[in-house]
Every structure is written in structure tokens, then in C-alpha cells.
Amino acid sequence: NMPKVQMTTLGYIETRESYLMLHRVKKEQDVNEGKWIGIGGKFEYGESPEECMIREAKEETGLAVTSMKFRGILTFICDKQDPEYICLYTIDGFSGQLKECDEGELLWVPKDEIFGLNLWEGDRIFFDLLHFVGKGVCNYIESPVQIKAVHITDIRNSVRFGCQCYYAVFAETLC
């Protein structure tokens, strides 16, 4: 039997100083319980990744996306769940009023305080890459100018169902 493939989005809404983070404290039986994550969710039938990200942003935050960048793909391969592909975005343009989210508490967190949060290990790597945008140095990339994608394996091995995670970020858009 061929497993079903789950397609989802994950986005980080940002201003010059902060990221809008979602503290997952409201849902029952939540794999993300207690974690600080971005927004996003599962594709609806016939939706493109961009359409899914825009819809999820509106549903979870009340904000309308006006500008975003595709940043890469997270791939989870595991014998305990169906494969999952997560399209990763940063959102730097939006309008509207922030609303209460039924999945957790939304909070603008200063960029220099992100690493003090209870994050998934893979998200730490992503934020580290973003932190060094334009500076030419990333802790996880030796020569960012020469490579198109970074593959880091097992970054969530101990925290997400014992799954292997392939983390592919398009370095040219980050560093």
C-alpha cells in the first residue's frame, strides 16, 4: 500500500524587529504542545502552496498576506506516520488586524529573543540561517555562495516520533 503524502505550509510573519510566533497551548493532543512555531497547515484539495499559506495566515492570524518568500522544504520520512512535505515561507508584507487564534497564543517576539523560546531543533537551524542573511556567514553552511540547497538530516529525530527529517533550505535566498 502506497502511503498518503501530507502537504503542509509553515510561515513566519515578520517585521523589521520581530517574528509573529504561535505558542501552541490550546489544542488537545497536539504534537506541537508547548512549542513556539510559525503559522500554517494542511493543503486543501486543489490548492497551491502559496494559496495554502495565504489562507492559513488569514485563518490563524486575521492578517492578509501581501508579500512572502518561499524558503525551502522540510521533508519528514517515518515508518510511524505518512510522509510529510512542508513548504516553508517568510512573510514580510501583510495588512489587517491581528485576531485571537484558536490553536494557541500569538505574540510578536523580538528577533534577538527567538532562540530563548521552546523551539523545534529544526526551527533553530532555520532561524540561524535567516539571522545571517546578507552577512555571508551561516553556522550550518561552509560555503553558502557555492551551494543551491542545504540538506541536514536527523534534526528532529529525538523529538518528532523518531522520524528522520531532511531539511532542505535554498541557501541562495538566505545567505
Q: Kindly report, residue by residue over 142-155, the tens digit of the pLDDT.
A: 433 333 344 443 34
Nearest to 167 by CA among 82, 50, 85: 85
Q: Please give the residue that has the higher pLDDT: either 170 or 9.
A: 9
What is the CB neighbour count within 10 angstroms for residue 154? 13
Kindly report, residue by residue over 13-42, the tens digit of the pLDDT.
Answer: 999 999 999 999 888 877 788 999 999 999
Q: How far apart are CA 114 and CA 117, in angstroms?
A: 6
Kindly report, residue by residue over 59-108, the tens digit of the pLDDT.
Answer: 999 999 999 988 777 777 666 677 788 888 889 999 999 999 999 999 99
Q: How far apart are CA 158 and CA 37, in angstroms?
A: 18
Instruction: Tell me the whole-structure pTM to 2 decimals.
Output: 0.78
